[in-house]
Amino acid sequence: MDSTEATALWDRVVGTQPAPSVWLVAATGIVALAAVAPRGIWLVTRNAVTIAHEGGHGLVALLAGRRLEGIRLHSDTSGLTVSRGKPSGLGMILTAAAGYPAASLLGLGGAWLLSAGHITALLWLATALLAAMLLMIRNAYGVLTVVLSGSLFVLVSWLAGPAVQALFAYGVVWFLLLGGVRPAFELQAKRRYGGAPDSDADQLARLTNLPAVVWLVFFHVISLCALTGGGRWLLGL
């Protein structure tokens, strides 16, 4: 690749692209909702939220100075991130708290990028994050899930036209914003019936001496605020 081609590629990544009409943006939101609301479909699409969830744990663990040992993604849409370091303290608290808000915050960041017209940058950034996460996956199902997700972004980025790229990007961001809301409600329902005794909220309760319900409220506030703010950005309000 010569300097001219490299410059053109860089300009394409950091440049801006036109957004779809507000009606098409709303339509991508409806499609994303259809991928989140029905239970049967959610059992499949939730894998993408799990990638964001465990990626959030892993990224914050690294930023907090912990040693990231590996990430596992399972076919029942659960996951596990293992890091080494002090078993208590701020770093451990931040790591444990990062999972549930991760999808919503990624969606909020994506909405900001799209509101600024950086559609291509969003697609490339998502691909880079998936590639980085792949290095830490420690089981076959996790590798398959991340590779398939990354391949989809690569195919859209390189082979699809600008209109398709835009619709795909908006659909992904809507999915993260909407899909980030449901897991906290699922966790709340499980805990109501005595399930998930070692959930992130329960771990945080032991680390901070705050009731698990406080952390559930925290997860709800983050996800609902991200959906509200991100949705306004996407719709240009």
Task: Report the length, in residues, of the chain.
Answer: 237
Higher-scoring residue by pLDDT: 25, 13:
25
Band (237; pLDDT cuts 50, 70, 90):
confident
Q: Is the pLDDT of residue 160 over 70?
A: yes
For the chain, what percent of residues have pLDDT higher than 90?
85
- pLDDT on residue 120: 92
- Residue 181 pLDDT level (bands cut at 50, 70, 90): very high
Confidence of residue 4 (pLDDT cuts 50, 70, 90): low
Return the DSSP state at 180: T
What is the rounded CA–CA span in Å between residue 174 and residue 28?
7
- In tens, the pLDDT along 43-52 reads 999 999 999 9
Distance (Å, whole) CA 20 – CA 76: 35
Q: What ranges do the domains of the chain cover?
A: 16-235
pLDDT number for residue 11? 57
Amino acid at 76: D
pLDDT at 197: 80
Q: What's the token pair of residue 156?
A: 């859209």
Q: How far is CA 49 from CA 25, 166, 171, in A?
A: 21, 21, 14
Q: State percent of the chain over pLDDT 70.
A: 94
User: What amino acid is encoded at 4 in this protein?
Assistant: T
Instruction: Give the pLDDT confidence score for residue 8 in this predicted structure.
Output: 59
Residues 67-122 have pLDDT tens digits of 999 999 999 999 999 999 998 999 999 999 999 999 999 999 999 999 999 999 99
Q: What pLDDT, on the 0 to 100 scale, is given for residue 208?
A: 96
166 three-state secondary structure = helix
Residue labelled with tokens 């339509």? 27
Q: How confident is the model at residue 185 (pLDDT cuts 50, 70, 90)?
A: very high
Q: CA nearest 104: which of 17, 6, 223?
A: 223
Number of Cβ within 10 Å of residue 182's Cβ equals 16
Mean pLDDT, residues 8-14 taken together:
61
Q: Which two tokens stand for residue 43?
A: 């059992």
Contact 36, 175 (CB under 8 A): yes
Question: Which of 62-71, 173-182, 187-196 is least confident?
Answer: 187-196
